[in-house]
Amino acid sequence: GAVVSQHPSRVICKSGTSVKIECRSLDFQATTMFWYRQFPKQSLMLMATSNEGSKATYEQGVEKDKFLINHASLTLSTLTVTSAHPEDSSFYICSARGLTNTEAFFGQGTRLTVV
Partner 1 sequence: DAKTTQPTSMDCAEGRAANLPCNHSTISGNEYVYWYRQIHSQGPQYIIHGLKNNETNEMASLIITEDRKSSTLILPHATLRDTAVYYCIVHSGGSNYKLTFGKGTLLTVNP
Work out whether the CA dihedral 61, 64, 67, 69 comes out positive or negative: positive
Task: Calculate ∠ Cα 93-97-98, nearest 5°.
Answer: 150
Site for partner 1 contains 61 (CB under 8 A): no
Query: Minimum distance between the CB of residue 82 and partner 1, rounded to whole angstroms?
Result: 23
* Whole-number Å distance between alpha carbons of 47 and 43: 12
Site for partner 1 contains 12 (CB under 8 A): no
Sketch the per residue contact string, 13 through 52, with partner 1: x for CB under 8 A, - otherwise.
------------------xx-x-x------xx-x--x---
Q: Which residues, listed in sequence order, are joined to residue 33 by a DSSP beta bridge?
A: 50, 96
Q: Which residues bind partner 1 (CB under 8 A)?
A: 1, 4, 6, 31-32, 34, 36, 43-44, 46, 49, 91, 93-95, 97, 102-109, 111
